[in-house]
Amino acid sequence: MLKTFTNTFKISFTENANSFIYFLRKIPKIGGRISETLYKQTKDKFIIGIIREILGILGGFLIKGLYLGLMIILPSYLMTKNIEQILPEFLHIFFFLSFILGSIMETIIFDSINKSAFNMIRLMRVEPRKYYLSQIIYKKLENFICFILPMIVIGKIIGFSTMKSIVLILELTAFKVMGEGLQLFIYDKTGKIINNETLILSIIIIMGLAFAYALPFLGLTIDFYTILFNIFVEITTLILGILSYIYIWKYRSYTKIAKSILTKEHLFDVEDFEENLNFGDVKIDEKKINENDLNIDIYNKKQGYEYLNAIFFKRHRRILVTPIKIRVLIIGIVFLVSLGFLMFMPENKVKFIQRIKNGGPILVFAMYMMSTGERICKAMFYNCDVKLLRYGYYRESNAILSNFTSRLKRVVFLNIIPALVLCLAIIGITIFSGSGFQVMGMAPLFVSILCLSCFFSIHHLFLYYVIQPYTAELTIKSPLFKFMNFIVYMISYICLQIKTSSSYFALGVILITVVYMVVTLILTYKLAPKTFKLR
Amino acid sequence: MELILKELEKSFGEKYVLKKASFRFKKGKIYGLLGRNGAGKTTLFNCISGELEQDNGMIMISKNGQIEEKIEYSKVGYVFSEPVLPEFLTGYEFLKFYIDINKDKIENLLTIDEYFDIIKISEEDRYRLIKGYSHGMKNKIQMLCFLITRPPVILLDEPLTSFDVVVALEIKRLIKEIKSNHIIIFSTHILQLATDLCDEIVLLHNGVLEEVDSKLLKSPEFEEKIMEILKEGNNA
């Protein structure tokens, strides 16, 4: 097993070094000076590999630190308003997010997009059992190391000892191994992979998040300090972790798992894979299509790119329209729950409406989560553009722009539906709670919702046309693209924390989004003919 | 009309694929482009079709003594060795789209069904998604694209390998029929196909293009000669 591990490590080491060299060579100006012969220099590569590894660990500290800071400390602080008193909330949220959700959702064995597993098992013919066993130890150890430093620092701030930090992370690691074992057990008994059961997974996630954030928000913080640092709990947890690893150790059918999970289709984009599945549905329809009901009549009048996109959106309606339906459904449920809340607790009406009126900042984040722009762009690329961009006529600037316009209309149209429903829901709640006279005053809020919806649709399409992050091999994405997306995400997320009078905020949002939309449209029309191409 | 390549250079990193490749392709002839795996046939085609930009050198079309230095994309038809088509459309829809887009460049427009008749794709298959087409059928659709727009330069990258015998023969006949008005370049590594169909053989070897004496084409030592040339300098 040790040999498997060192071999795996060597290969991922070399691979990391190679991709690091590749990355360095792509940096403008400096990149040109790095010779391609570096790929041949095994010795230099070793050093590069080590640099890359150190950077990786530093990055790990940073990521875990950010995770703890943004997902746990920040909300705890917002609830208690006193950094020295957040310990109970911190442990409560940390337990549900990391111990429970993390253990159930994280998986090494059932990770179908693990490229290294694919390479080692499918291409290099390593025995799956040895691979998984060594990887579980390695990854959990890595996780342990990356967590320990930020946790000790946090412990110093919010008041628990270094020893306690280590115990906490040890327990977490034991939980993660248990999670791994549990998933394997479920698969063994039922043949189901939790991570592929969207419904179950969504329920677990929603429940987990509710327990993590809603309970302390309502003042029902569980005292995990006494629980987790109780000596019996500590020992039991560790023993259960070890037993889980023994179970994983004794399990024999890894080859079967590897065969069904590590396939080329899985390895490319998960979402792409989903799209292909959805495309499979289209294929079934195909049999029903005959000359008479070929919909030719519907689209016959459309020409060129309008015709192309009309058919594209029709054939992909499952991918494109279903998410919209789900969003409308969620808004509907939230609407009904709110009505129920108001019905049973009418004394909160005024406060509730006030909350909504000042809800502008939260809406930014909500609208970000609701936008389907990126998914649509991906579908466009994989199922349409990756092929047609090979043709000269499709790359002509007129063609790109009329195609862009035709798509923009449709994407905005699709995304504005849930936005409108949201506006209606808010109006409904306001009227129901007897504050109907306030609806007019909420106009800026509604306009900002609609603006945000357009903004996110345009934003994704703009990035797609101007950066075009996807490659024909469906693998590498542009760092710039990720960065831009991250920025927008961060801004949306930060908006959650803003406390300001609603109408100013709404006006600000309207102003910013409108300006952004105008600028990006102009930029797209200027740049896309040059930038929209295959990489 | 001539397609003129002048000292084309193209490299990927430190690997030089085209090293001052020059050639004049003339109208009315079918050229067979021969080269070993990785010799750069596809790269050369990609440069001519504008998919890649060459590092140095020029690609021009001369017509009645007038030279066009920047070739318009519509002058070059390119049939990829791996068919590249949007799979969510039916064959019929793709052709309608293609014709819509290129309407102003098409002379003697036929109906879509007439086009399908030419390449013998059955009524039923016309209304199926391209996703379900076989490799050969997809290739036929690609061929059809240049039959519709009739670009002066036609590049065929390993085109006949995926066709069954009947279709291959038909396509061969078709190519011979239209050749008088076009410059047709045909890349292959099947020698027999080259001698069968082509009027001239051009070798792409060590980054340059060289013509093989057309007298040799019919001679019995043809294969041996080609082998000799292609193996030469391979150690370099």
Name the β-bridge partners of B185: B31, B155
Task: List Cα–Cα distances, A369 to A374, A384, A489, in angstroms.
Answer: 11, 25, 9
Q: Is A428 helix (H, G, I), strand (E, B) or coil?
A: helix
CA distance A382 to B131: 13
CB contact under 8 A, B73 and A315: no
Contacts of B76 in chain A (CB under 8 A): 392
In this model, does residue B198 exceed pLDDT 60? yes
CB contact under 8 A, A35 and B85: no
Highest mean pLDDT among A136-150, A281-295, A488-502, B70-84: A136-150
CB contact under 8 A, B127 and A291: yes
At residue B128 the predicted structure's pLDDT band, cuts being 50, 70 and 90, is: confident
CB contact under 8 A, B86 and A387: yes
Contacts of A311 in chain B (CB under 8 A): 88-89, 93
Q: Is B206 helix (H, G, I), strand (E, B) or coil?
A: coil
State the pLDDT at residue B123. 87
Q: Please give the mean pLDDT across all residues of chain A.
A: 82
State the pLDDT at residue A279. 42
State the pLDDT at residue A290. 45
CB contact under 8 A, B97 and A35: no
Interface A:B, Cβ pairs < 8 A: 76
State the pLDDT at residue A274. 45
Q: Please give the mean pLDDT across all residues of chain B.
A: 84
Which pair of tokens denotes residue A253? 């059918």
* Contact in structure between A361 and A451 (CB atoms under 8 Å): no
Residue A292: how many other CB atoms lie within 10 Å: 8
Contacts of B122 in chain A (CB under 8 A): none
Shortest CA distance from A313: residue in chain B: B88
Beta strand B66-68 with B76-79: parallel, antiparallel or unpaired? Answer: unpaired
Q: Is B127 at the interface with chain A, CB within 8 A?
A: yes
Beta strand B15-26 with B2-12: parallel, antiparallel or unpaired? Answer: antiparallel
Q: Is B141 at the interface with chain A, CB within 8 A?
A: no
To probe the interface with A, which of B51, B52, B95, B101 has the most A CB atoms within 10 Å? B101
For residues A446-459, give the mean pLDDT. Answer: 89
For residues B134-155, give the mean pLDDT. Answer: 87
pLDDT in tens, A406-435: 999 999 999 999 999 999 998 998 888 887
Angle, CA A195 vertex, CA A190 and CA A200 arms, to 5°: 75
To probe the interface with A, which of B52, B96, B144, B149 has the most A CB atoms within 10 Å? B96
How many angstroms away from the CA of B197 is the closest CA of chain A?
26
Domain B2-231: assigned CATH number: 3.40.50.300
Q: Is A499 helix (H, G, I), strand (E, B) or coil?
A: coil
Q: Is B224 at the interface with chain A, CB within 8 A?
A: no
pLDDT in tens, A294-324: 555 567 778 888 888 888 888 777 778 888 8
Of residues A282, A283, A308, nearest to B97 (C-beta): A308
State the pLDDT at residue A282. 35
Q: Is A350 helix (H, G, I), strand (E, B) or coil?
A: helix
Domain definitions of chain B by residue range: 2-231
- Run of H or E residues at B203: strand B200-205
